[in-house]
Homo-oligomer: A and B are copies of this chain.
């Protein structure tokens, strides 16, 4: 099951530099752990914005939520989730 997810970070302005740095490091570790499982297929930076667009290939909506909610910045992001399926005009049988 493929999802396209857009995440916009709202960095809290009350955090000091150390707290920001610590969150960033844990954010990277968590996202890379999931990328290595093969479930987080693409992690793209939106050019010029504090946002990413990601493509995930998961077993279920529950697994999608498990992955995204494990990110330390999860409560501080605006997240848009789009579930996708096969387009009749697509020439490839597979989604990815």
- Residues in B with CB closer than 8 Å to A13 are 12, 14-15, 76
CB pair B90 A49 closer than 8 Å: no
CB pair A46 B11 closer than 8 Å: no
A52 to B87, CA, bound (A): 8
Interface size class of A (residues with CB under 8 A): 35 or more
In the complex with contacts A4-B4, A61-B84, A91-B35 CB distance below 8 A: yes
Q: Which of A37-86 contact B (CB under 8 A)?
A: 42-50, 52-53, 60-62, 64-65, 68-69, 74-76, 79, 81-86
Enumerate chain A interface residues (CB-CB to B < 8 A): 1-5, 9, 11-15, 27-28, 31-32, 35-36, 42-50, 52-53, 60-62, 64-65, 68-69, 74-76, 79, 81-92, 95-96
